Structure 1
Amino acid sequence: MRVSKPIVEIRNVSFHYPGNEKKVLNEASLTVEEGDFLAIIGGNGSGKSTLCKTINGLIPKFYVGEFEGEVVADGLTASEHDVATLSKSIGYVYQDFENQLLRPTVLDDASFVPLNYGFADFKERGKWALQVTGLSRLAKEFVWQLSGGQKHLLALAGAIAMRPKVLIIDEPIAQLDPQHAKTIYDVLKNLNEEYGTTIIVIEHYTEFIATYCKQVVLMDQGRVCWKKDVREALCSVEELLAQQIFPPQVTLAAHSLKRNTSYPITLDEAIGYFSGVTPHFGPLPERNHHDEKVPVLALKNISVRYRTFGKQAKDALHQVSTTFYKGDQVALVGNNGAGKSSLLKILGGIVKPTEGVMELSGNPLKKFTPETLSDHVAFVFQNAEEMFIDDSVRGEIEYYLKARKVENLDVLVDQILADFHLTDFQHHDARLLSGGQQRRVSLAIGAAMRPSIIILDEPTANLDMATKSNVVLMLENLKKHVDTIIIATHDMQLVAEWANRMLVMHDGELIADDGSEDIFKQKEILNRAGLVPPQLIRLCNQLDLPHCVTIDSFVECWKQAEQRGVLNGS
């Protein structure tokens, strides 16, 4: 049996940026063994990304600040070597991975790093990296033609083309659909098991941690609190919740029932743990029907066609027809490249359809532009900072209202600030707020436009789990200001908890339009669109339990079964 040895040693490292007295890292220490598959968890601002940037020397060589302590990576003391030297054995895929794509074609990009290091076999290394990441068939494609998931895989391919001993990935699945997320982690698992690469991920999704990782590190306020085996870590439920970190849903459900302290951490374990419940719990509540609602916006046979670089015609949308109603909370879902963004741009008037008609309150819109629709439809971007043009939160919210000369402006702005919990931040620059606070500002800007419909592109992207929960509350507040909310999202838990309709896109077509409860039971639709229901719903489906979207509803369902004597052993 081979004895593992340390590949990374971080010893009493502290760091803070110039002008900031608070330490981002505060005497942090960590040892990473060769062959580890390690997840680093912690709330926003706990120091996760900063810690990882010390491993390849970006801190303190690139990010200037006051640095103390020692970092040794692959036998090299980081403070004594430059970033280029360390990067030969320490690969890194950043959260903003698209900034790592530098060349026009896929193979060129995958080969770029070893080419710049002067390796004669740079092209062979690029081809190997594309093979490992499953991108070989796209080697000659232009990078801009790739979907978001494929671009993420290409950034990963570029990082592993150097055959690094350590690979660091900052939030590997934050912007990916479930299918591509699984693909990314399968590639990481293969690198770890087949090629011996030490993997370090910064991750919020504990379900993926449970399935793929071997160890977990918890960080808080710049310190490493502990490093534990993945099972022990994820079963430390009270400690994780205190840090606003959510263990897998099945683990939380078992903990809430307090049957014992040996909790399941994966779905397969949970099926055995919870098996024995019969499905009979009375009739389901009646559902609302579209014919009882007031139509607000309708699409009829909408197609969007563009020409590729090779002048070939390609459909981004094909014959899409649907109607949005007053009171709708619609989730637009599908894998990366399914056509969601194109559909959103049609709804916002940003893109004109090649074919088809859009109707607003039953009236056809022959000429619809962003200006035409802006009184009726508001578009909130995925990257909140792209909406900021003033130097204060209040100014951001006032901007549109001033341009339209809205009366009683101050009263309306005060109300919106209160509704979105921004009153205390109204004089702050929105660009300097946290990710969750910026998201609230972007929602407030959209609400201030007082549209009939608001469109949100990935409202929970790049947010930790605790902040995502706050966004769900903000969506409820948003209902006070608009008739209809449409979100494009990969967050299936958000879909389950919030949406009353689920529109499923695949390859430019609308393949399903129904409630999430029904769609989450249709395996063919889920497989085509690359969707994976939330873990708790998959458990309910496996056990023939009623549709439970929250831990509280699952626990209540279980207790009802116990009271009615329908559990095994009852």
Structure 2
Amino acid sequence: MVKPIIQVEDVSFTYPGAEDKVLNNANLTVNEGEFVAIIGGNGSGKTTLCKTFNGLIPKFYVGDFEGKVTVGNRDTSQFSVAELSQDIGYVYQDFENQIMRPTVLDDASFVPLNYGLADYKERGRWALDVTGLTAIANEFIWELSGGQKHLLAIAGVLAMKPKILIVDEPVAQLDPQHAEEVYRVLKKLNEQFGMTIIVIEHHAELIVEYCQSVVLMDMGRILWKEPVKIALSKVDELVSHNIYPPQITQAARLMVGEGGMAPELPITLEEGIAHFNTFSKITNTSRANKSEIHLKQDKKAIVNMEHVSLQFRNLKKQKKQVLNNINTTFFEGERIAIVGNNGAGKSSLIKLIAGIVKPHKGQVTVLNTSTTNATPERLGKYVSYVYQNPEEMFIEDSVKREIELFLKARKVKDYEVLVETILKDFALTDLKERDARLLSGGQKRRVSLAIGAAMQPSVILLDEPTANLDIATKKHVVHMLETLKEHVKTVIIATHDMQLVSEWATRIIVMHNGEIIADGNRQDIFHNQLVLQKAGLMMPQIVELSMKLGLPEPVYTVEDFCQQFTIIESEDKAYEYI
């Protein structure tokens, strides 16, 4: 028998000083034992809604609150956050802020200890066993990978054995392998322990594989709650809200054509293979190959790395090998993606190029300047490093002043003209007087890219440029990366976003355990299953589908995929392809 565990009735909420409601007459029922994904664009109210479940809103985050939230048989207005949190575990998007203690077991046991439970240590061990962290119970938290830290944050709330677990953006900063690991743990909790799981998620392929139902939010309203198959088949409606279903589903909807009826569409790879095998394929591969670029080796070398190794010492004074004997050259005009699992050495590699860290052995040169002897300030003439967290680059009180800062410090002549050009190219003119720290996630990313471009470097380095962004904002960042071509010679990104890699990069470098294990174009990498498996990578869904269907060449976008069949719609579409 279906039993409601969360009921939201006519809930509205407005933050202090804000004019618009972040929740607007929201109504929702979540049943006991469900695995629910909440989707919606940035600012739609997803996180705010979830914070009403454990009383954080309105008891911690105060504001104008109306309506009623019931969890189990309890009206949340009658109970404290501490009381509600015994039954509701919440893992935040910035999960590292929830890790409080020095060792793994200490942290997993911390919450039940603070509730005065005598069996707090046993609960911590149980939570580590469920999340697969028992083997590292005595390790220090600063020695963990990103994936291990995320699992520890989950273990920390699991130790209370809650009935409900809420996870905000479970895989935002994880490589595909660790993302699957986190979701397998959530599935285990749902199926074996009967826990109700609620995730705020942007990755449609993970929703398909693990979730049972989907809630769509927009402007603080809950538009609907549907089973996954029905929800993700609503392609036109989802895209109108800047949400993108799986690439297979988009392609199937496109083949139906505008105005065509498509009640349920394929949402998995297996369904996509069966569906598209009913269409006739074409043999002309010019469309698929036209975007593949093979750069000639007579291009000018921008960055050169010879026998480069990098070591750090941990708190136990033990040497940790981060990079080992790296040999590679980056050329003018390349768009390079450095990929690999968490801890592979991607960020360390680009920090070496920027001069932020120095090689333990070997030589790194940027335009024949050794980074070993050059200060980061000197290298700043050639190299711009854009941090994963844009706020680390913000100093001034307006977007315009942020972009001007480097140019004024270097006394660049007529810098005002360049600043206006940068503002226009990165769609920041209307935001130029705003404080960058108060902008949305996507806007902050645009500002950070603009700051990097304004330095007029030969090479720009970006660490996870699409991390923590929804799919619609990611698409805008991809456009911004294209804009960078007008301002810099070579662009290098370190990323987990394989869809971004497949659509944007002309060269892909795969790293594993501090070494380069593959270096080539898209076809070289995506055809090498051993490399993908070793590095914990997964090819984008549309690329894998094109291979499974035996198309003459792999394709990298929904648009290119649909062009491989005899039924081709007009160019005027109701939505963009990704």
TM category, shorter: over 0.9
Aligned to 1:145: 143
Q: Which residue type is aligned with residue 553 of structure 1? A: D
After superposition, residues 180-259 of structure 1 pair within 5 angstroms as 180-258=178-256
Q: What CA distance in whole angstroms lies between the structure 2 residues aligned with 1:456 and 1:441?
A: 13
Q: 2:346 aligns with which of 340, 361, 379?
A: 340
- Displacement of 1:287 after TM fit? 4.5
Aligned to 2:465: 459
Q: For the structure 1 residues 287 and 19, does the alpha-carbon distance in structure 2 shift closer, same or farther, using more than 3 Å as the test?
A: closer
Q: Tell me, yes or no, if structure 1 residue 556 matches structure 2 residue 563.
A: yes
Aligned to 1:25: 23
Q: Which residue type is aligned with residue 394 of structure 2? A: F
Q: Which residue type is aligned with residue 156 of structure 1? A: I
Q: 1:274 aligns with which of 268, 276, 280?
A: 276
Q: What CA distance in whole angstroms lies between the structure 2 residues aligned with 1:543 and 1:306?
A: 46
Work out whether residues 464 and 493 of structure 2, in 8 Å CA contact, stay in contact via their aligned partners in 1: yes
Q: Tell me, yes or no, if structure 1 residue 506 matches structure 2 residue 508.
A: no
- Displacement of 1:278 after TM fit? 6.0
Aligned to 2:443: 437
Q: What CA distance in whole angstroms lies between the structure 2 residues aligned with 1:460 and 1:475?
A: 11
Work out whether residues 290 and 325 of structure 1, in 8 Å CA contact, stay in contact via their aligned partners in 2: no
Q: What CA distance in whole angstroms lies between the structure 2 residues aligned with 1:21 and 1:359?
A: 53
SS of the residue aligned with 1:382? coil
- Displacement of 1:229 after TM fit? 0.8
After superposition, residues 136-175 of structure 1 pair within 5 angstroms as 136-175=134-173
Q: What CA distance in whole angstroms lies between the structure 1 residues aligned with 2:462 and 2:487?
A: 14
Aligned to 1:49: 47
Q: Tell me, yes or no, if structure 1 residue 328 matches structure 2 residue 328.
A: no
Aligned to 1:532: 538
Q: Which residue type is aligned with residue 265 of structure 1? A: I
Q: What CA distance in whole angstroms lies between the structure 2 residues aligned with 1:13 and 1:265?
A: 32
Q: For the structure 1 residues 64 and 153, does the alpha-carbon distance in structure 2 shift closer, same or farther, using more than 3 Å as the test?
A: same
- Displacement of 1:369 after TM fit? 2.6
- Displacement of 1:86 after TM fit? 0.3
Q: Which residue type is aligned with residue 90 of structure 2? A: Y
- Displacement of 1:560 after TM fit? 7.5
Q: What CA distance in whole angstroms lies between the structure 1 residues aligned with 2:519 and 2:274?
A: 33
Q: Which residue type is aligned with residue 397 of structure 1? A: I
Q: What CA distance in whole angstroms lies between the structure 1 residues aligned with 2:366 and 2:202?
A: 40
Q: Which residue type is aligned with residue 405 of structure 1? A: K
Q: What CA distance in whole angstroms lies between the structure 1 residues aligned with 2:461 and 2:179?
A: 24
Q: 1:85 aligns with which of 79, 83, 86?
A: 83
Q: What CA distance in whole angstroms lies between the structure 2 residues aligned with 1:211 and 1:302?
A: 41
Q: For the structure 1 residues 403 and 169, does the alpha-carbon distance in structure 2 shift closer, same or farther, using more than 3 Å as the test?
A: same
Work out whether residues 295 and 362 of structure 1, in 8 Å CA contact, stay in contact via their aligned partners in 2: no
Q: For the structure 1 residues 400 and 561, does the alpha-carbon distance in structure 2 shift closer, same or farther, using more than 3 Å as the test?
A: closer
- Displacement of 1:309 after TM fit? 2.5
Q: Tell me, yes or no, if structure 1 residue 292 matches structure 2 residue 298.
A: yes
Q: Which residue type is aligned with residue 202 of structure 1? A: I
Q: What CA distance in whole angstroms lies between the structure 2 residues aligned with 1:318 and 1:5?
A: 56
* Structure 1, 299-308 or 251-260: larger mean CA deviation: 251-260
SS of the residue aligned with 1:40? strand
Q: What CA distance in whole angstroms lies between the structure 1 residues aligned with 2:28 and 2:314?
A: 49
Q: What CA distance in whole angstroms lies between the structure 1 residues aligned with 2:371 and 2:22?
A: 53
Aligned to 1:375: 381
Q: 1:307 aligns with which of 313, 334, 347?
A: 313
Q: Deviations over 1:338-376 (max 9, x none)?
A: 111111211110111100001223454541331221110
Work out whether residues 352 and 371 of structure 2, in 8 Å CA contact, stay in contact via their aligned partners in 1: no
Work out whether residues 4 and 35 of structure 1, in 8 Å CA contact, stay in contact via their aligned partners in 2: no
After superposition, residues 383-532 of structure 1 pair within 5 angstroms as 383-532=389-538
Q: What CA distance in whole angstroms lies between the structure 1 residues aligned with 2:364 and 2:218?
A: 50
Aligned to 1:547: 554
The two structures have a TM-score, normalised by structure 2, of 0.95
Q: Deviations over 1:93-142 (max 9, x none)?
A: 00000000000011111111111111111111111111111111111111
SS of the residue aligned with 2:297? helix
Paired residues in the alignment total 560
Q: Deviations over 1:287-334 (max 9, x none)?
A: 524413111111111101122222222200101111111001011111
SS of the residue aligned with 2:531? helix
- Displacement of 1:81 after TM fit? 0.7
Q: What CA distance in whole angstroms lies between the structure 1 residues aligned with 2:371 and 2:56?
A: 53
Work out whether residues 39 and 46 of structure 2, in 8 Å CA contact, stay in contact via their aligned partners in 1: yes
Say what the alpha-carbon RMSD is for the aligned residues.
Answer: 1.5
SS of the residue aligned with 2:312? strand
Unaligned runs of 5+ in 1: 563-570
* Structure 1, 47-56 or 202-211: larger mean CA deviation: 202-211
Unaligned runs of 5+ in 2: 570-578
Q: What CA distance in whole angstroms lies between the structure 2 residues aligned with 1:448 and 1:6?
A: 54
- Displacement of 1:73 after TM fit? 1.1
Q: What CA distance in whole angstroms lies between the structure 1 residues aligned with 2:189 and 2:285?
A: 49
* Structure 1, 11-20 or 356-365: larger mean CA deviation: 356-365
The two structures have a TM-score, normalised by structure 1, of 0.96
- Displacement of 1:221 after TM fit? 0.8
Q: What CA distance in whole angstroms lies between the structure 1 residues aligned with 2:130 and 2:246?
A: 29
Q: What CA distance in whole angstroms lies between the structure 2 residues aligned with 1:377 and 1:31?
A: 52
Q: What CA distance in whole angstroms lies between the structure 2 residues aligned with 1:376 and 1:195?
A: 55
Q: Deviations over 1:397-452 (max 9, x none)?
A: 00111111111011110000000010111111111111111111000000111100
